[in-house]
Amino acid sequence: MKAHINGREFSFEHDETILEVARKNGIFIPTLCELNDIDHAPGTCRVCLVEVDRQDTVGPHYVTACDTPLGDGWKVMTRTPKVQEMRQLQMELIMADHHQSCASCPRNGNCELLATANSVGLKQVRFHYTEGWEDLEPDHGSQPVIYDRSRCIRCQRCVAVCRKIQDVDALELAGWGNAAGIRLKGGSVAASPCVTCGQCVMVCPTGALAERDQTQDVLDYLADPQIVTVFQTAPAIRVGIGEEFGLPAGTNVEGQIIAALRLMGADVILDTNFGADVVIMEEGTELLGRLKKSYRPTFTSCCPAWINFAEKHYPEILPLLSSTRSPQAVMGKIAKTYLAEKRGIDPKQMRMIAIMPCTAKKEEAARPALGENGVPDVDIVLTMREFARLLRREGIDLKLLEPSAYDDPLMSEYSGAAAIFGTTGGVMEAAVRTMYYVVNGKELEHIEVAQLRGFENVRSANVELGGEYGQIKVAMCHGLKGTRQLVDAVLAGTADFDFIEIMACPGGCVDGGGTLRSKKSYIPHAMMRRETMFGIDRKTKVRQSHNNQQVQKLYADFLGAPHSEKAHQMLHTQYSARPCGVIADIQAAWDELKKQGGR
Amino acid sequence: MNRSVYGVWDGKVHDFRLIELGEQPAVLTGLDDFAPHNETKAFIADRGFLVFDRDMSLVEAFSQYLSQAARESCGRCAPCRVGTQRMRDLLQKFSAGLTANGILDDIKEIAEQVAETSLCGMGQSCAKALLDALHYFSDEFKPLKPAQAIFQHSFVYTTAPCIEACPSKVDVPKYIDGVKGGKFDFALGVILDKYSMAASCGRVCVRFCEIACRRRSVEGAVGIRMLKRYAADQAIANDRLRFTKSPIRRNQRVAVIGAGPAGITCAYKLLLEGFQVDVFDAQKTAGGMASIGIPSYRLPKDVLKAETEDVVRQLGGHFFYGKVLGEDFTVDDLQDKGYDAVFLAYGASRGSLLGIRNEDPKLAGYASGVDFLLKVHQHVEHGEPFAVTGDVIVVGGGNVAMDCVRSARRMGARSVHLIYRRTVEDMPAEDDEIVAAQREGIVFHCLTNPSGLVVEDAQVRGVELVSMRQTELDSRGRRSVEALPDSGFLMRCDLLVAAIGQQVEPSVLKPEDGIERDRWNCITVDPDTLETSRQGVFAGGDCVLGPLTLVNALDHGERAAAAIRDYLDDGEVRIRPERRMQNFLAKNKLFAGECLKTPPLHQDPVTLPELDASERIKHFGEVDRVISKEDAYAEASRCLRCYRLYSVVTAKPLQQPVRAAHKESTFTSNRP
């Protein structure tokens, strides 16, 4: 079939939308709600208007390009004065019930709505009103993600990513008219299937969804002379945050981050990678012990959203999870005991601040089991976005800083194995390197285990461990949709594995729910960030966790051996079932019907 | 009368403000007497508006109309969410006298955008009449005068083609919204607001809604029924649905005769209102024809029980089984026992005779469709002895005939034949049922009619048949059938089932009951209020309608409950304005001939998963499976939400003020 767009003739297939055909041929039509990367075109913003002349009816017609199939012989115009006026009015209507204070918006400076407003040439906003902003979701203490309806454009991308990409399905479309928006099913994180992975935030075009901002707390700690601030930075932060300051995607800015923290007055600067090395020592030992008893499979436990997922959706598999705490939690515990002791810091004055690519880490830090007497081991978790905000508030431009290096002698060294923790397959590879050494008393020869490095959502491989273990079967999964399939297979007895690595976010931590947001795309930089991680591994002096000298010192001076009683007590944890299904609340439905004016 | 002073309808301008013309054909019928003793001043719809009283305020009428639009807007797409609110507010401003600053131009600009670019039928239709009015009659837009405010009341009714097609007027787009939005309990709540039998209706409803679905002309109607079942099953199958007794207590007692769909629905609604309800039934279980007439491979008995007997008991209702009206008790007895109102819903359960030679219901090897299904039911559910082994012939082409052939197959008949006098295309049975029967190896003999039975030793041994042929199209474009001369032939059988229809049992009521019936023994009722000729006695379902559908019975049950409540609370029964509007819309066929301006993007309909025919004929287990959540979301997203608003403006309010005492908490608490 053939049709004209802006006077040029194009051929197209049956049921291709006007937008698809236009894009394929390099013709721009402004869009807002649509997100091609997750195959989402809900048609709610109605901005992508075009003018259509059809032979069969009297025109012109004005249709939305995203959800209108192009017809044979149609003449589509994307730039007539009328179409441009209509798009501008549409934008005006979208802005009419939108929060007008961009200055206080978490998406300030990086907003898709403003970008689209620019692209349609918006000149004025009449008809503004604020009804429907009331009754906003309260900010529950540890809730990592906050929804603000006054900044919501009802694109439902969050709902789509939660359903289609993660298969968690924690969100529902709530309310009617000007109070329409989204809501966690059941009204709260606890009652809903939500695992706080934060993928909803990653696709939100505005500041409607954002992390609970804790930068102010960190600034307050930095300003307080009584407080000893201890920072840890996750493996994925250094390969992601450079983009915020105009550096190419995947640039390693570890040195600049250290310099920045020092500039801000951080008292102790540690690296979560150290914690990752400790995790490998513990988890590797734990796994070998379980394998000896033919207790299988074992699931990794680094990813807090995965832990939530298991507790809420598959409580029956909780005994299969490694009991080892996550690197963040390990860092918190060791800092407030070992580090405090060795460096003579009063742990009561110590504040552990973790910079993470993750929203679920905020919730993890608040778990009662990961603290002592109500005081959490990790006091504050900043997502990468908050960290960027913190740097801006301190007037720091990362790309102008001279890289610096760690100076802490106890908890900042890391191996190449720890460096790759932030990408899918990384935890597995790190564990294999150490387990191989433990079993055979010698290092693995081909240290970069190629069969673990794919990028499909669910992968499996066989790894030769040697000794009494021989070949072990491992699987790796990133994204919870694949995870669900894998767990179902394990429960059904159709998946035969010894060790399974799960990362809840597609792409792993480098694209976690706490990383920088992209406009109009979903995880566009995964491969570049990942390559940088592999590069860091290659350049690191030691490439196995057990060869990290600070880790060796930790065990020699403090913990004893991996999985010793002390290590077990400090570095392991338990999980509990958190069911989220409830009795059907029909009365609530009736109340809602009545409120709406019921029929 | 019915002649408008001015207005626009389907783009045609009517303006008789200055020139008084003679007789003009009415655009719509039934507006002047929309409600008795209440002058109709204007009517607003998606296709235009008509004003009958020039002294009414056009601005106020549109302001009310758009207020409803703003309330009804789902709020997803920008033009409808914001546009409806803004139009309402600007109209209110104008109505209050703030007429400066080109306010009408602003309204017009927004109205055009809302009508042209909204995502669904709600937004697309709600501003059209306003645009017409602004275009042709902007001089009639004047601030509201105090006198106008007193004598002008809008009743705005929101509906859609699928809703109006449904006898029970279930808000289909709303529960599809619920599924689409991931609010399955809300979706179920929309249905349970009408009747309790959501999962049953979600399995066996004849789906008038899907016939009316505007998506039908694109790639197939939205699978409305499967979405209803999905919403119901996710609560019922996981045992997440519980009812508790209504917190409201009323002293009045109501007797419901018949635990079928109509009776159960009436009991359910009255119990929610706090009345005391006793249900009497001739059978041992609740469900009526849904229980004995619909085999469990289509409607599992546990599902049916959960939303009939269980719900009524949970709400505090009582059952008296094995009690037959006309045999064990009379209507007078009920009154003597202190029941304040009676709802008759005893169905139509007597099989119709074929009217052929040698026919006698007492013959061995002869059964009516309902009697056969009852025996199957009692065999499958209660283990009563019943064997079907030989060759079975079923006469008929409706759903009951399909139930009979498919049940006979499952009972183990050697062969099963269906005899129907017209063609397959003419069969009143649902297409799905016909296809399912064919897949199960039923032999169809169409254009074949029985003329007599072959009886040996008081046992049916065969049927004499004649071949039929279609006649030419008659003047109304329909074909009839006629017998082919000398085409008689014989088919042997061991069981003949006459499934050509049912009748109301005549012996249930006696003349001394004082309840009027027609010549088919159907109870005569007021079609709106379901009152019978005897005060305090209401009737509905098949005993009024003759054998009709499940959803017709559900509708009667619900409306009867509303009428009984009015009767017991106020001593008089009202016709609700919604009902008046529904009658008016139906009379004027306001949904006919609609088409989609631009066809929507193709989305494949979800197909209902079912057991393979070779497997399912071995037992009475359910054939249709529930769809996956993914499919439910996909199917729900196909709904075009063809909502539209109809407003009638009258001198006095149509909505009776609800009595304060019963205003709050009309529904039972269902919180855990």
CB-CB contact of B517 with B508 (8 Å):
no
Nearest to B88 by CA among B53, B58, B64: B64
Domain boundaries, given as residue ranges, for chain A: 2-96, 215-571
Give B670's pLDDT tier (boundaries 50, 70, 90).
Answer: very low
As a whole number, mean pLDDT of residues B448-459 equals 94
As a whole number, mean pLDDT of residues A323-348 equals 97
As a whole number, mean pLDDT of residues B98-109 equals 90
- pLDDT at residue B217 above 80? yes
Global pTM reads: 0.93
A587 and B667: CB-CB below 8 Å?
yes
Q: State the best of B106, B195, B601, B639 to mutate against chain A, taking most chain A CBs within 10 Å.
A: B601
Give B21's pLDDT tier (boundaries 50, 70, 90).
Answer: low
Set of chain A residues whose Cβ sits within 8 Å of the Cβ of B82: 93-94, 96-97, 127, 178
Nearest to B404 by CA among B424, B385, B419, B425: B419
* B340 in contact with chain A, both atoms CB, cutoff 8 A: no
B601 and A17: CB-CB below 8 Å?
yes
Give residue A369's pLDDT.
95
Higher pLDDT, A104 or B268: B268
pLDDT tens digits, one per residue of B28-86: 888 888 999 999 999 999 999 999 999 999 999 999 999 999 999 999 999 999 999 99
B113 and A89: CB-CB below 8 Å?
yes
Set of chain B residues whose Cβ sits within 8 Å of the Cβ of A582: 240, 672
Q: Which residues pair with B453 in a beta bridge?
A: B463
- pLDDT at residue A396 above 90? yes
As a whole number, mean pLDDT of residues B355-382 equals 93
| Residues listed for chain A | 599
SS3 A474: strand
Shortest distance, CA A77 to any CA of chain B (angstroms): 16
- pLDDT at residue A469 above 60? yes
Question: How is domain A2-96 classified at the CATH fold level?
Answer: Ubiquitin-like (UB roll) (3.10.20)
Please tell me which of the candidates B71, B78, B185 has its beta carbon nearest to residue A94. Answer: B78
A127 and B672: CB-CB below 8 Å?
no
A61 and B68: CB-CB below 8 Å?
no
* B171 in contact with chain A, both atoms CB, cutoff 8 A: yes
Shortest distance, CA B567 to any CA of chain A (angstroms): 21
As a whole number, mean pLDDT of residues B317-325 equals 97
The Cα-based distances of B225 to B82, B292, B429, B634 in angstroms read 32, 22, 17, 14
CA triplet B454, B456, B459: central angle to 5 degrees? 90
| Architecture label for domain A215-571 | 3-Layer(aba) Sandwich (3.40)
Shortest distance, CA A254 to any CA of chain B (angstroms): 43
Which residues fall within 8 angstroms of residue A98, CB to CB, at 6 or more apart? Answer: A113, A150, A151, A153, A206
pLDDT tens digits, one per residue of A575-589: 999 988 777 788 888
Give residue B661's pLDDT.
40
Closest residue on chain A to B186 (Cα): A589
Q: Where are the beta strands (DSSP E) in B426-511?
A: 443-445, 448-456, 459-470, 481-483, 489-492, 495-498, 502-503
Shortest distance, CA A583 to any CA of chain B (angstroms): 5
Query: Is it true that the peptide bond before A297 is cis, omega within 30 degrees of 0?
Result: yes
* B188 in contact with chain A, both atoms CB, cutoff 8 A: yes
Set of chain A residues whose Cβ sits within 8 Å of the Cβ of B268: none
What does B538-579 look like in DSSP terms, one character per residue? EE-THHHHSS--HHHHHHHHHHHHHHHHHHHHHSS----HHH
Please tell me which of the candidates A67, A177, A587 has its beta carbon nearest to residue B70. Answer: A177
Place of tokens 């387990």: A435
Shortest distance, CA B668 to any CA of chain A (angstroms): 7
B602 and A180: CB-CB below 8 Å?
no
* Amino acid identity for residue A160 in this structure: A
* B574 in contact with chain A, both atoms CB, cutoff 8 A: no
Shortest distance, CA B215 to any CA of chain A (angstroms): 15
pLDDT tens digits, one per residue of A486-511: 999 999 999 999 999 999 999 999 99
Domains A2-96 and A215-571 share a fold: no
| Contact pairs from chain A to chain B, CB under 8 Å | 188
CB-CB contact of A1 with A69 (8 Å):
no
Higher pLDDT, B218 or A536: A536
Shortest distance, CA A508 to any CA of chain B (angstroms): 25
CB-CB contact of B8 with B136 (8 Å):
yes
Give residue A598's pLDDT.
44
DSSP secondary structure code for residue B473 in this structure: P
* B579 in contact with chain A, both atoms CB, cutoff 8 A: no
CB-CB contact of B125 with B96 (8 Å):
no
CB-CB contact of B558 with B266 (8 Å):
yes
Q: Which ranges of B137-197 would DSSP assign to H, the alpha helix?
A: 146-150, 161-165, 172-180, 184-192
CB-CB contact of B189 with A589 (8 Å):
yes
Give B110's pLDDT tier (boundaries 50, 70, 90).
Answer: very high
B183 and A174: CB-CB below 8 Å?
yes
Shortest distance, CA B241 to any CA of chain A (angstroms): 5
Set of chain B residues whose Cβ sits within 8 Å of the Cβ of A17: 601
Please tell me which of the candidates A15, A46, A180 has its beta carbon nearest to residue B601. Answer: A15
Shortest distance, CA B667 to any CA of chain A (angstroms): 7
* B85 in contact with chain A, both atoms CB, cutoff 8 A: yes
User: Cβ-count burial of B485 within 10 angstroms (0-12 exposed, 13-18 middle, 19+ buried)?
Assistant: exposed
CB-CB contact of A562 with A555 (8 Å):
yes
Please state, rounded to an integer, the average pLDDT across all residues of chain A: 94
Q: State the best of B64, B162, B185 to mutate against chain A, taking most chain A CBs within 10 Å.
A: B185
Place of tokens 């564990």: A431
Closest residue on chain B to A96 (Cα): B82
* B443 in contact with chain A, both atoms CB, cutoff 8 A: no
CB-CB contact of B72 with B645 (8 Å):
yes
Tell me which residues of chain B, numbers 104 to 123, contact chain A at a CB-CB cutoff of 8 Å: 106, 109-110, 113, 116-119
Q: Which ranges of A314-357 would DSSP assign to H, the alpha helix?
A: 327-334, 340-343
pLDDT tens digits, one per residue of B298-310: 999 999 999 999 9
pLDDT tens digits, one per residue of A154-189: 999 999 999 999 999 999 999 998 899 999 998 888
Give B594's pLDDT tier (boundaries 50, 70, 90).
Answer: low
Shortest distance, CA B669 to any CA of chain A (angstroms): 6
Please state, rounded to an integer, the average pLDDT across all residues of chain B: 92
Q: Which residues pair with B392 in a beta bridge?
A: B416, B495
Give B19's pLDDT tier (boundaries 50, 70, 90).
Answer: confident
pLDDT tens digits, one per residue of B171-211: 999 999 999 999 999 999 999 999 999 999 999 999 999 99
Which residues fall within 8 angstroms of residue B662, CB to CB, at 6 or more apart? Answer: B248, B273, B569
Give residue A470's pLDDT.
93
- pLDDT at residue A14 above 70? yes
Set of chain A residues whose Cβ sits within 8 Å of the Cβ of B74: 176-177, 180
Give B247's pLDDT tier (boundaries 50, 70, 90).
Answer: confident
A176 and B74: CB-CB below 8 Å?
yes
A177 and B79: CB-CB below 8 Å?
no
Which residues fall within 8 angstroms of residue B276, CB to CB, at 6 or more apart? Answer: B250, B251, B252, B253, B254, B316
The Cα-based distances of B311 to A41, A589, B113, B284, B305 in angstroms read 41, 18, 47, 17, 8
What does A146-186 look like in DSSP terms, one character per residue? EE-GGG-----HHHHIIIIIS----EEEE--GGG-EEEEGG
Give residue B665's pLDDT.
35
The dihedral sign for the CA sequence A278, A284, A287, A289: negative
Closest residue on chain A to B84 (Cα): A177
SS3 A487: helix
Structural domains for chain B: 6-160+643-662 (1.20.1440.230), 177-241+611-636 (no CATH), 253-345+504-578 (3.50.50.60), 351-502 (3.50.50.60)
Residue B106 to residue B94: CA distance in whole angstroms: 11
Q: State the best of B85, B168, B191, B196 to mutate against chain A, taking most chain A CBs within 10 Å.
A: B85
Q: Which residues pair with A62 in a beta bridge?
A: A51
A154 and B189: CB-CB below 8 Å?
no
Closest residue on chain B to A182 (Cα): B181
Shortest distance, CA A541 to any CA of chain B (angstroms): 49
What does A374-399 look like in DSSP terms, one character per residue? TEESS-EEEEHHHHHHHHHHTT--GG
Give residue B669's pLDDT.
35
* B597 in contact with chain A, both atoms CB, cutoff 8 A: yes
Shortest distance, CA A174 to any CA of chain B (angstroms): 8
Closest residue on chain A to B185 (Cα): A584
* B629 in contact with chain A, both atoms CB, cutoff 8 A: yes
A583 and B668: CB-CB below 8 Å?
no
The Cα-based distances of A177 to A552, A596, B71, B123, B621 in angstroms read 61, 9, 6, 11, 44
Set of chain A residues whose Cβ sits within 8 Å of the Cβ of B89: 129
